[in-house]
Amino acid sequence: MIQPQPTVRSILGARTRPTLSLEFYPPKSPLGFGILGGSIERMREVRPDFTTCTYGAGGSTRENSFAAWELLARMGFTPVVAHLTCVGATRAELEAQIDRIHESGIRNIMALRGDPPRGETAFRPPEGGLAHADELVALVKSRHPDICCGVAGYPETHPESASREDDIRHLRRKVDAGADFVNTQLFYDNRVFLDFVRDCRDAGIGVPILPGLMPVASRAQLERSVAFSRATVPAALAEAFDRAPDDEARRAAGMRWTIEQIDGLVDAGVAGIHLYILNQANTVLDPYLSACLHRWHAAHP
Ligand SMILES: Cc1cc2nc3c(=O)[nH]c(=O)nc-3n(C[C@H](O)[C@H](O)[C@H](O)COP(=O)(O)OP(=O)(O)OC[C@H]3O[C@@H](n4cnc5c(N)ncnc54)[C@H](O)[C@@H]3O)c2cc1C
């Protein structure tokens, strides 16, 4: 019998220090899975409290997500948070996915609506499917109340929202539907996150809100991250990249920025730090960032 994995809710509830979580995405080929296995092996020393892995809705992409969740669990990177979206699935298909996740021992789902398919500008719920993430949270909880649900939050407001107030009101609906924690879109300015948390608390959202950070090692990486997240780039970060004379200096500038973000957020009392690492062991093991993470473990064993 498969042992159920712990929930993020229980880990956050028992924490004596901010948690550290790492986000992965499923590779597309057997070679990619081999490389991911090697990266996970190299990242062991970082000892994340939990890992998350994204979800693609298409048939083979979906199977790759299941395989990646399994790989993370087999290699001891547990608990795993399985992302799930409403894209291209009926309610019955989502129920089957949720049951399959539960049967595998996973007890954490990041419940998401998902983006419109490539080439389409608006999300249209599939016939017999769900329109928003709050409905997915409710479905997960009605099927398996022992599953802990995370949901997405947007410190700089979801691009489809008419206003920040609307967006936070919709986030509250997800929490009212049963979400246990919020994981945010990436951001580069801590002030933006801290203002968002304040506004969420004012709106009655009481669950832990985990900041999502993406360490970037080059100007090109920074621009790619902004293209999908629409995060604001502080002038000081852009200048640090522009001033750096070579790739190594640019990498150091990007990592120092993330470390300063981590230090500032931990000082501000966040429940945890979530790193979007894009499967890159080199990012986590970067001398600057790994020294920061080791200091963290040493201070709070
Ligand atoms: C931490 C994180 C992880 C992610 N992981 C993945 C992944 O694995 N796979 C993937 O495909 N995408 C992923 N995404 C991207 C995500 O799918 C998109 O940002 C998507 O556009 C919105 O998803 P959502 O769950 O926030 O949707 P929703 O919460 O449904 O929100 C979408 C929009 O609708 C509004 N809204 C919400 N509820 C309602 C309601 N009841 N009535 C009216 N309006 C409402 C919101 O304000 C927002 O503007 C992730 C994003 C984040 C931040």
Q: Which amino acid is at 115?
A: D
Spot the catalytic one: 23, 45, 63, 223. 23
| Mean pLDDT of all residues belonging to the chain | 94
Give the position, in ligand 1's atom list, of the atom nearest the Cα of 154.
Answer: 53
Report CA(114)–ligand 1 centroid distance (Å).
Answer: 6
Q: What's the gap in Å between 86 CA and the centre of ligand 1?
A: 10
- Global pTM? 0.97
Where helices occur in 59-176 by DSSP H, the ranges are: 59-74, 91-103, 133-143, 164-176
Ligand 1 centroid from CA 57, angstroms: 14
Judge whether residue 1 has pLDDT over 70: no
Residue pair 43/284 in contact (Cβ under 8 Å)? The answer is yes
Q: How many CB atoms lie within 10 A of CB 215?
A: 26
pLDDT in tens, 155-174: 999 999 999 999 999 999 99
Per-residue pLDDT tens for 17-67?
999 999 999 999 999 999 999 999 999 988 899 999 999 877 778 999 999
- As a whole number of angstroms, the distance between CA 19 and CA 99 comes to 28
Domain boundaries along the sequence of the chain:
8-299
Query: What pLDDT score does 262 carry?
Result: 95
Q: Which pLDDT tens digit goes with each residue over 174-230?
A: 999 999 999 999 999 999 999 999 999 999 999 999 999 999 999 999 999 999 999
What is the fold of 8-299? TIM Barrel (3.20.20)
pLDDT for residue 235 = 97
Closest residue (by CA) to atom 8 of ligand 1? Answer: 54
Residue nearest to atom 46 of ligand 1 (CA): 167
Structure confidence at residue 33 (pLDDT): 96
From 8, 132, 173, the mutation candidate for ligand 1 (largest count of ligand atoms within 8 A of CB) is 132
pLDDT of residue 117: 76
Q: Is the pLDDT of residue 287 over 90?
A: no
> Looking at residue 296, what is its pLDDT?
79
127 has catalytic annotation: no
Residue type, 261: Q
Report the atom number in ligand 1 closest to the C-alpha of 55.
Answer: 8
Nearest atom, ligand 1, residue 132 CA: 30
Going from the Cα of 229 to the center of ligand 1, the distance in angstroms, rounded, reads 12
C-alpha separations of 225 from 117, 126, 187, 233, 258 in Å = 19, 28, 10, 10, 14
Q: pLDDT band at residue 272, thresholds of 50, 70 and 90?
A: very high
Q: What is the pLDDT of residues 105-161, one digit of tens each?
A: 999 999 999 998 778 878 989 999 999 999 999 999 999 999 999 999 999 999 999
